[in-house]
Structure 1
Amino acid sequence: MEPHPTGVRHPDRPEPLAPPGAAGVIVEEIRRYPVKSMLGEALPHAQVTPAGVAGDRRLALRDLTTGRVVSAKHPRRWRAMLTLRATGVDPVRISLPDGRELTTGDDVDAVLSTLLGAPVTLIATVPPGATLDRARPDEVLAAGVTAPVTVDETPLGGGTTAETFVDFAPVHLVTTATLDRIAGAAGAGQPADAARYRPNLVLRTTGVPGFAENGWVGRHLRVGAELVLRVMAPTPRCAVPTLAHGDLPAAPDALRVPARLNRVAPVPQLGPLPCVGAYAQVVHPGRVEAGDPVRLD
């Protein structure tokens, strides 16, 4: 996004994300992931609270051996999480690869412990000092998902006070311009699938360059009639986008391309990392629907 021609942005006169004469920007998809690191669901509309999309990442599995939150960011250990799909809110339904379906009222712990090959328990409260294991993505790319690589213990929710199992911030968004840029650089015959990057909002853009989200940090997005988000930082990527997601096959280029084209520092102390999309906090909660217009203040 180019700077405002006067050098000053007027909060009472939001400028469009797309240039004059373009079709504008809309919410193309709304996504929710009721259980952290499981596949989620697309929604026609949702209420967005200060904690994010209602029902998003409200549950997680806890590894009873280490005490850490289970995450496919450690693919050698937990990539099977992406064979499970969680939908709904109360109760949450968990669909298994063999077609069975559990709800949160069933004996979920025993079934999932057997499927994942480790003792786990489903939790709804974020433990104090909650952490997860994150394999270094460059090493995963080089050695493969089954190889032993360096794994870092990483805290959860550093960009929010909400009691949910988000990695950093309540809302994650990505533009179709960025997805198209990744697909084009990878030589794919179709657009990059947003599901690999696990966003809450997919924004359909026109006339906007790929990785435009980098330039939105510190600015507000007005989504529909009520929702206002503040963009906090580009989203650093782990190995998860490269993994098989349900019926989607493994795709190493989902990380290789941003590693080549969009290494930026989401915060100065981390240094340059491959980033796709952006994290946002909720300034004003509200309802969002697919097709809602989006404007940048």
Structure 2
Amino acid sequence: MHRVLDIRRHPLKSAAAEHLDEVVVTADGLDGDRIWTCLGADDTVGSAKQPRLWGGLLAVTASLSAQGDAAADMLVTVPGGKALEAGGPEADAALSDWLGHPVRLTRHPPKQLKRHHWWPDEPGMIPDWAAGVEPGGDDLVAVRAGADGRFFDFGPLHLVTTGALARLGAEHGEAVDPARFRPNLILDLPADPEPGQRIAIGADLLVKTVVPTPRCVIPSLAHGAAPADPALLKTLASHHRVDVPEYGRATCFGFYAEILAAGTARTGDEVRVL
């Protein structure tokens, strides 16, 4: 029997995950997932896809005091610091000091959302749809915000499987921490389902795979106890460059899913690919 091995919520975009025993999942994703963001002095969204500016966010922890509509209250902690309430001057000052430039936390960013994106210079890491960009260069790209103000790069639910992680570890010569891919759910499945397949999780949650997840520089960066691993990009580009339906070829790992039926996900829940 296949099961949910781990549930991870990221209340603050690009910060470390909360590990949960259970969470409500709606059409908008996990309750409380990516509902806060950092803004830079130029009002761009803080994303570790530009590590020079925002890589330090991966070491910041963020936790919510409640789920559902009350999930607005968040505590953030920079390494070596104390937990501070998001939205106040103390938290903004601590993050600014940690990151080395002025930032502020918000749930209500400007309508025109953009972020800095650093394009890796590892061959194969630039997707077909960005073929004109400069490897090693920085771009300003548009950010998608959900109708409820969430800060997703693409879809509301991101998953990885133990089978794909085991294959990647064999290709890379060592185990790869799944935190590098920032999933919401880690599923005990022998391989990733194909796009369009449905996955039943627990008693009532039903999702459908949409596309494999294109990868950026983030998997190669330090994530807490996992040190920086630049060679991981070469492994990914060598073994995981695939056709993304309707978009073109890209180096991918994990997959996005849409929610067909809302429900509660719990660690240990049975997982069935239909």
The answer to whether TM tops 0.5 is yes
Runs of 4 or more above 3 Å deviation: 138-142
Which of 27, 30, 55 is 2:4 aligned to? 27
- 1:49-103 per-residue CA deviation (whole Å, 9 max, x = no partner) reads 11111111000001122x2101000012211111211112452111211132212
Who is 2:179 aligned against?
A: 195
Who is 2:250 aligned against?
A: 273
Cα distance in 2 for partners of 1:175, 1:140 equals 26
Cα distance in 1 for partners of 2:208, 2:149 equals 19
Residue 233 of structure 1 pairs with residue 217 of structure 2: no
Who is 2:22 aligned against?
A: 45
Give, as a single letter, the amino acid of the residue that structure 2 aligns with 1:72.
A
- Higher Cα radius of gyration: 1
Alpha-carbon shift at residue 196 of structure 1 (Å): 0.8
Which of 109, 113, 116 is 2:99 aligned to? 116
Paired residues of 1:50 and 1:162 also in contact (CA < 8 A): no
Instruction: Describe how 1:210-229 pairs up with structure 2 within 5 A.
Output: 212-213=192-193, 215=194, 217-229=195-207
Alpha-carbon shift at residue 110 of structure 1 (Å): 2.2
- Give the structure-2-normalised TM-score: 0.87
Instruction: Identify unmatched segments of 5+ residues in structure 2.
Output: 65-70, 126-134
What is the number of equivalent residue pairs in this alignment?
Answer: 258
Residue 291 of structure 1 pairs with residue 274 of structure 2: no
Higher strand share: 2
Cα distance in 1 for partners of 2:142, 2:245 equals 15
Paired residues of 2:124 and 2:238 also in contact (CA < 8 A): no
Q: Tell me, what secondary structure is at the counterpart of 1:111?
A: helix
Alpha-carbon shift at residue 138 of structure 1 (Å): 3.5
Alpha-carbon shift at residue 292 of structure 1 (Å): 0.7
Which of 35, 41, 45 is 1:69 aligned to? 45
Alpha-carbon shift at residue 272 of structure 1 (Å): 1.5
Alpha-carbon shift at residue 285 of structure 1 (Å): 0.9
Alpha-carbon shift at residue 126 of structure 1 (Å): 4.8
Instruction: Identify unmatched segments of 5+ residues in structure 1.
Output: 1-23, 143-147
Residue 247 of structure 1 pairs with residue 216 of structure 2: no
Q: Tell me, what secondary structure is at the counterpart of 1:99?
A: coil
Q: Tell me, what secondary structure is at the counterpart of 1:287?
A: strand
Paired residues of 2:23 and 2:264 also in contact (CA < 8 A): yes
Instruction: Describe how 1:258-269 pairs up with structure 2 within 5 A.
Output: 258-269=236-247
Alpha-carbon shift at residue 139 of structure 1 (Å): 4.6
Cα distance in 1 for partners of 2:231, 2:19 equals 24
Q: Tell me, what secondary structure is at the counterpart of 2:144?
A: coil
Cα distance in 2 for partners of 1:285, 1:182 equals 31
Paired residues of 2:121 and 2:136 also in contact (CA < 8 A): no
Residue 185 of structure 1 pairs with residue 171 of structure 2: yes
Paired residues of 2:107 and 2:149 also in contact (CA < 8 A): no
Alpha-carbon shift at residue 264 of structure 1 (Å): 1.4
Paired residues of 1:47 and 1:54 also in contact (CA < 8 A): yes
Q: Tell me, what secondary structure is at the counterpart of 1:82?
A: helix
- CA RMSD, aligned part only? 2.1
